[in-house]
Structure 1
């Protein structure tokens, strides 16, 4: 029998024995009565029992330990109070259950926490109609589901979550993209953060002597514990994950100064919606060296290039006022864009294909993950859930359909049989077993032992399940009608006694704060009401009034959208919520049209709109490493630069993207796109010179 199976049987038998006894028991009694301990010598038992207790605690199941006056391990007693195992009852409304069901339907399969999300919903809906059937129709669709990296990512996340919960220092190899090197890191893990389509670990780096942020996809190989101690560190009491979630790119690192940026009154509201928390504003009319309209935005910065990149990407709608050295850096980079797009641009020779392997290894595409174990806590949770389902059916005299149970637990028949075989040997002590189940064809018959009702009520949510629920709710945010997910979240947090977003995992779900707009839009979708919006068209620098029939909220790489029928254009359109300045429902209702469905596999997920052209773009050696992570590289050059294929639907979009690269990107072809970049850069340089 596999070691993992031995451990599962031993830990489930320990839980069952303690709950069946309902009294404090000694270590000697546990050794004699719990499956798997009797054959061990005293030293092995002490070691295994200590390890099992630590793992159960990490799973959210804490034994009550009473120390003996004499201090001897043998005299300690152990108990598992029901409140440490059973889930406090949560009374959800039908609307909340429907919202949770919708969340599962939207996320299942591509969510990093898909399996624990299903199990958590089984727990919470115990004794109620299953929330796991997909709803017939939803007002929300997801193109981005917080699932980059597949099974390997989930394994890393689970290891890091356990380390955060147990306060264990971890050691791993990390690709430091700024130095283009793989280095060993020793980290006290404080929190996980999901932002911009990626998971990040926030923790105290022993090498740097400070808190640092690590992108999980850049971790290489296995993650190990630094010591065998029960706990290695205490997280600072003043640590707040929201501080890191709200940080903007130019503020990552040590503060270097304060920048002053003038923003046009056409976009000042939009910039503040995204970055208002990162600085303070003054009416431009009150600032001597600024135009007489708009605002002046003051923001601390740590990364000069990142701030210059942001200002350049705003084009003529923004101007950097100070400090002088930062203005000089922006001017230098703008001159570099002009220089590199004027005339011919000389390229280094292409690197032979064989040399690309090193870059594949740095990105982790070839990293060896085959030795990492599967996620054991998910199976532990599934076994407890399955035991409860089987015992409840037996108590009611019902036979179960194996096919239905497989569908409910999202497993195949072989996995179901393995789980039932394992539960059949879980001992509650004294030679009796929790249950005995047989699979005959498609029917499952169960004979529970008298003490089998230990598992007949839903167990306490495991940390992994709690995080899955809260993560799903936080990812979707305010984008379901009536706010029913918000109230469900409050009930889950109350039952747990803590908020996983504050303790382990913080999910951000939008690039800018669109919650007010989302509430109005989702209400209009639910009520089939026409919606008036003031929408900012970035490429035209224009605010337009539109009347739309709103059909569905969808998310994408850049944020949330409402997919609608635009009555002004008499065609389907998708509008980014953060670019809607105002939204107001009309009294007038509309009859839904057939076939107005968003393309979830296209531009929301890939960023590539229909009929897009491809530009060949050179990326400098200094920025090539970032391009390899996030862009489609079509050639590697001997000087370390790369050529990427960048899709674009119009020159306006391409101009913004190239300006934001601050001289580190050059359009090679097509020629008209290259000319458009040059003209835009010259126009911007002229506007700055005459301002």
Structure 2
């Protein structure tokens, strides 16, 4: 999602960029836009078939880029200010306010500025206090590091190990996975790419050195295998104690709801009854199975048999 939105923003910015720089070379344009020449070529090919409904002559963005030089003759209105209808403005405002409350998804400062401008244009400007909490400041610092391509020092809480650590990282991008925003970065201590959940970054400090992840790490797609589950596998409904919340990072689990007692109800994908039975027996009282009933009976019978073996 983050990569798609980043590319869309880049494509929209390219049209006025090329209008202002007729005849720019592909190599120079790629360097200034922060992409490879191959990525630039792909973006140009997509722009060339984009435009207004109808998509006939005069409707499409008019670009030439077959030689080394790039020219833009017709913008198809992309460079003109957008006029929102009242329902459209309301929908945009609702979306922006929701995004402001989610750490790391957007730059809160830019979102609040956009909210103020839209409300002012609609004649309904309302003062919204600038949030100054530590969490917001940390998220802003992380986003600044990504945008400015600077190295970052962070204090991070790893729920899977219930430990905090200080790390120096080279930011790559911000990604959204399962309703949580993550900083994808090269961790110098681990010598590998890691995902750091925004709400578990306890502190962040910009460093006076550029972000320099290895080339393959920067160019690779975000690895979300940890969060993906095979839809063909069975799913169990379990209750998870607060002390076992680290399981959401380690196993293919989807939060269903937070319970009043602090526990969580989750859907968990598993490979076989035998595997999940062994896992739940090892978790003790921290994880309780609710469905399917046959699996709950299997786990209970295995627990009873284990206790009997100890007593004998």
Superposition TM-score, scaled by structure 1 size: 0.26
Partner of 2:117: 491
Alpha-carbon distance in structure 1 between the residues aligned to 2:253 and 2:157: 18
1:661 aligns with 2:272: no
Contact 2:181-2:198 within 8 A present in 1 as well? yes
Aligned equivalents of 1:654 and 1:412: distance in 2? 43
CA distance in 2, matches of 1:556, 1:476: 14
Q: Which residue of 1 aligns with 2:201?
A: 580
**Greater relative contact order, per chain length (Cα 8 Å cut-off, separation 6+):** 1
Q: Which residue in 1 is equivalent to 2:55?
A: 412
CA distance 1:567–1:492, shift in 2 (3 Å):
same
| Residue 599 of structure 1: aligned partner | 221
Q: What residue number does 2:140 align with?
A: 519
Q: Distance in 2 between matches of 1:578 and 1:529?
A: 21
The answer to whether the Cα contact below 8 Å between 1:562 and 1:574 also exists between their aligned partners in 2 is yes
Q: CA deviation at 1:525?
A: 2.0
Alignment RMSD, CA only?
5.1
Deviations 1:628-687 (A, max 9, x none): xxxxxxxxxxxxxxxxxxxxx99953689798438x9896825233211122134679xx
Q: 1:371-397: per-residue Cα shift (whole Å, max 9, x none)?
A: xxxxxxxxxxxxxxxxxxxxxxxxxxx
- Aligned pairs for 1:426-445 (under 5 A) are none
Cα distance between partner residues in 2 of 1:581 and 1:464: 39
Counterpart for residue 528 of structure 1: 149
Give the deviation of 1:484 after TM superposition. 3.6
Residue number in structure 1 paired with 2:88: 465
Distance 1:496 1:655 in 2: 43
Q: Aligned partners of 2:123, 2:195: CA distance in 1, in Å?
A: 40
Q: Distance in 1 between matches of 2:172 and 2:195?
A: 10
- In the TM superposition, 1:299-378 aligns within 5 A as none
CA distance in 2, matches of 1:591, 1:665: 37
Task: Give the distance between the partners of 1:107 and 1:665, measured in 2 at CA.
Answer: 38
Aligned residues: 218
Moved over 4 A (4+): 414-417, 457-460, 471-482, 612-615, 649-652, 654-659, 664-668
User: What CA distance in whole angstroms lies between the structure 1 residues aligned with 2:141 and 2:109?
Assistant: 11
- How far apart are the structure 1 equivalents of 2:252 and 2:50? 47
Q: Identify the match of residue 275 of structure 2 among 650, 658, 672.
A: 672
Contact persistence 1:534–1:543 (CA under 8 A): yes
Mapped partners of 1:585, 1:103: distance in 2? 22
CA drift at 1:547: 1.3
Give ranges in structure 1 of 5+ residues lacking alignment: 1-101, 109-117, 130-134, 139-403, 418-442, 445-456, 503-512, 621-648, 686-691
Question: How far off is 1:582 after superposition?
Answer: 1.6
1:530 touches 1:549 (CA, 8 Å); kept in 2?
yes
Alignment of 1:45-444 (within 5 A): 105=8, 136-137=33-34, 407-409=50-52, 411-413=54-56
TM-score, normalization: structure 2?
0.51
